[in-house]
Amino acid sequence: MRVLGVDPGLTRCGVGVVEGVAGRPLTMIGVGVVRTPADAEIGHRLVAIEQGIEQWLDEYRPEFVAVERVFSQHNVRTVMGTAQASAVAMLCASRRGLPVALHTPSEVKAAVTGSGRADKAQVGAMVTRLLRLDAPPKPADAADALALAICHIWRAPALNRLQQAHAAHRQAQLSVRKVTR
């Protein structure tokens, strides 16, 4: 499985591609940051993020895209920018028919470090260790993108089983309704 992780942000949007399957060593395929100038118009920044993500999708051809789920912060302006960058990433993936998964920051931290309250340094250290890198990716947004991809690879099998069970349950409920009518 090849996953593009996206840590959304207007100024720095972390991107990272990881390949592998749960229970086996994972491989980093690429890591970087899509940057936009803080003083540019919002529309131009979003277009730059779109173009950057499209380049990553073209070059690395992931099968899945994992995006950090936007959560409420104290700074509404920051949340809005993060949500807008997140929407661009989801749009780019969906346009290509790629499945998109959203993972909360605490899910990602728990998956890679064992603690949902880990700090950025701990996440970077574990990403470095899990992917057998010489040093943590810089800036932290890049390491966070890799952590998102790792989280998705490890959680996808369980999520797929849950989705299948939910779909089967829904189908069974529909069948019961037809019989009782």
Is the backbone peptide bond immediately before 105 cis, with ω within 30 degrees of 0? no
Of the residues 39, 54, 68, 107, which is catalytic?
A: 68
Q: What is the C-alpha to C-alpha distance for residues 122 and 88, in angstroms, rounded to an integer?
A: 28
Q: Is 54 annotated as a binding residue?
A: no
* Catalytic (active site) residue 134: no
Is 64 within 8 Å of 99 (Cβ atoms)?
A: yes
Q: Is 68 annotated as a binding residue?
A: yes
Measured between its terminal Cα atoms, the distance across the chain in Å is 44
Radius of gyration of the chain (CA): 18
To the question of whether residue 144 is assigned a binding role by annotation, the answer is no
CA 85 to chain centre: 12
**141 counts as catalytic:** yes
Is the four-CA dihedral 61, 12, 151, 93 of positive or negative sign? negative
Q: What angle, rounded to 10 degrees, do the helices at 76-95 and 42-60 form?
A: 40
Active site residues: 7, 68, 141
Q: Which residues are annotated as a binding site?
A: 7, 68, 141
Binding residues for Mg(2+): 7, 68, 141
